[in-house]
Chains A and B, each alone.
Chain A
Amino acid sequence: MKKRLTVLMVLSLLIASTVAGRAVYIQILGDERLEKLAKRQFNSKMLVQARRGVIVDRSGEPLAINTEVQSLAANPSKVQNKKMMAKLLSKALGIPHEKLLARLKEKREFIWIKRHLPDEQIEQFKKWGITDVSGNLLPGFWLVKENFRRYPHGELASHVIGTVNLDSEGTEGVELWKNSKLEGKVVAMSSVKDALGRPTLYDASAVRDAKDGETIQLTLDASLQFAVEEELKLSLEKTKARAGAVIVMDAISGDILALANAPTFNPNVRGAPAENRRNRVLTDAFEPGSTLKPILLAGALNQGWKITDRLHGEHGSFKVQGKRISEAETHEKFEWIDLKKMIQVSSNVVSAKLAMKMGADKYMSTLRSFGFGEKSGTGFPGELSGWLPNAKKTWSPLTLANVGFGQGIMVTPIQMLRAYTAFVNGGWLVQPRLVKDPNKDEDSPAPIRAIPANVAEQVVDAMKTVTASDGTGKKAALEGYIVAGKTGTAQTVDAKTKKYSRSRYISSFIGFPVGVEPRIVIMTLLDEPKGVYYASETAAPLFKNVLNAVVTRFAIPSSSPIERKLAEAESKKNSKKKDTIQASMSQATPPAPTKLELSGTSPEGKIVWKMPSLEGMTAREALQILQGNDLRLEFHGNGLIQSQSPEAGTTITEGSLIKLRLENEL
């Protein structure tokens, strides 16, 4: 018996010491495999998600912010009765049943069922039995909280702000351009979790490294942007143009205050066509047409030409290398005109001749000094640098002549606007800015002198005549302000025929109010306006409305003294008494829209005018007299007006048809 007990005791001791030895081995010496198992059970990696930075306008108004939404995820291997679940989910989420079933049959541990669910759809889960009695989702499904980008103003500045994808990564615009700053820093940190999976210990130093995305402040002014977008929309409806764009820029700081494109899109709604999402201001190039003429003039003045120097207008057309270069209007048959007049009447012939006299090298160097042929430096994704004819080869006289009046060269709207800032700020080429970067301010490149200040002044003087009563851009003039600018109606190349189209034009106007602060430059552009396509009738009125929005927004005082304004009001009042509208002509206060003499009103309440004598005038002069009134005009032929119907002195009313026969009837 004693012997048996001894054996049992020894055996027990052996077993106990084996267990103790194993315990010592596991606890003290360690086992790599078990260590890994324990780590897997108690340690977990946690992702500290960064909040995407917000995008605000120059006053801090939020333009892109985040909200939290829930997405439905599943582990197909744990989903029971997949057919039934696919049916229920299909009803709750509106996704085709077959598609859901195929997804649930996938041999994966994680799938998304639907991302970014609206609250209403989550409420539907209970109705369709996707949750159990306690409100929890059925096994295999769970909701994941995610950040969701929202654009509270919808379409406002959507071309600048851009969009993000489902994972909140920037795909377009500032969202893409500044993605690295906006997305912040996601940190993976290890933590020890308890039996319920709750973290009990953090790596505090790792949490410190997690960083939310930075706030990006744009130079845009949300209120002005809205007003500009509204004006552009109205103009597009009126002119039935295919597309349009407006830019408003501070000529000193380079801040872009408004940048509107049409057609537009709402970034909150996915799947907008690419055509609507294009930021034409930065990513489209076009032939500028006559808006390039002030640049040519600046180049010529810089090379020693005088504003009073005259060139012959060749009676409306001349040939270069067998190709005819003509004025935009056949009745424009200029003789000797000076360079100021060249801008006022927008002469193609004189511009072409001036460019040819300047020579390709000098003209090219002028274009380069105004920043053409290179990106404007905004840094915006997809910005184009435009195109200048091959600099290595000598330009042919025809190329030079064409570039003289703005054809045969490709520029972006932002390049054109940037070039015009030099006229406003005394000759400096500033870099346009879309984002206010406090760290970058010190490193931002200094403005480059493009032309001397006196040259800029002379060009501005010439451009003031454009908005005068007999200028091509008189409809851009805003009462109370001295406006300088230039119209441009450029032909576009037909993609099919590879030739200049006779029906497709890009109309633009670039201008600025003179003698006011802040110094603002505005560009309006309409692509393929239907009917009357001239910039004077399309882009110029849009410019006027945009300028009105700008002066209202920034409370820019009128550049004409208040006494004069009051005197004008008094004179208008007096003239009404006599039933005659007198046109007031001054640079500061553009004329009233009509020069017709009022004769009273008809019994139907229509305005009645006296028909003026138009014989011997050019078509443009006649238009200047008749414009601004509801009259139907018919021109036959070209040259000077030979006869008119109705005759001078007779009465005409609103809606009357006026037929004018010109010298050379076609």
Chain B
Amino acid sequence: MKRWIPLWTIPLIVVLAIATVWLRLSIVKTTYAINQTEKMITNVKHEREKAALKIAGLRSPRRLEAISKAKFRLAQPKADQVVYLK
């Protein structure tokens, strides 16, 4: 009796089926990983923004002036106290 499909196709089909499932699982796994990384990126971005806010607050001219006056007893120079050399 002649076989209607060759014998070697059976392992091929099995391999293809496993590969398809593996590929599908890999996609899902990678998506989870991307998702996780994106969350991390977002968190880092937020941390960066928080840091930027803190730096901006620390560099605020109002704060610096208050510190320079209170802590170092500095004052804005008067017009006649500044001489610029060309």
Residues of A participating in the B interface, judged by any CB pair closer than 8 Å: 51, 61-62, 65-68, 150, 152-154, 156, 194, 198-202, 222-223, 226-227, 230, 478-480, 544, 548, 551-552, 555-558, 562, 565
Contacts and interface: CB of A to CB of B under 8 A. Distances in A.
B32 A198 contact: yes
A154 B76 CA distance: 22
A558 B84 contact: yes
A588 to B, nearest CB: 14
B60 A152 contact: yes
Given A153-B61, A222-B61, A544-B79, A67 B31 contact: no
Given A552-B82, A556-B84, A557-B85, A201 B57 contact: no
Nearest to B80: A479
B18 interface: no
B77 A65 contact: no
6 shortest A-B CB distances, which residue pairs?
Answer: A152-B56, A226-B61, A557-B84, A548-B79, A200-B28, A68-B46
Contact of B83 (A154, A226, A227, A558): A558
Interface in B41-86: 45-46, 49-50, 52-53, 56-57, 59-62, 65, 76-80, 82-86
Interface residues of B, number: 29
A153 B59 CA distance: 9
B79 A65 contact: no
B49 A67 contact: yes
A200 B33 CA distance: 10
Between A152, A226, A544, A562, the greatest number of chain B beta carbons within 10 A of the residue's beta carbon is seen for: A152
Given A479-B79, A548-B79, A562-B83, 19 more contacts: A61-B59, A62-B56, A65-B56, A67-B53, A153-B61, A154-B60, A198-B35, A199-B31, A199-B35, A202-B34, A223-B61, A226-B62, A227-B61, A551-B82, A552-B82, A556-B84, A557-B86, A558-B83, A565-B83
B26 to A, nearest CB: 11
A152 B32 CA distance: 36
A202 B60 contact: no
Contacts, number: 78
B66 to A, nearest CB: 11
Given A67-B46, A67-B50, A562 B85 contact: yes
Contact of B49 (A68, A223, A555): A68
B30 to A, nearest CB: 10
Contacts of B32: 198, 200
B27 interface: yes
Contact of B56 (A61, A198, A480): A61
A230 B76 CA distance: 11
A478 B79 contact: yes
Contact of B61 (A156, A556, A558): A156
Contacts of B80: 479-480
A369 B56 CA distance: 43
A314 B59 CA distance: 59
A478 B79 CA distance: 7
Nearest to A155: B62
A65 B85 contact: no
A427 to B, nearest CB: 27
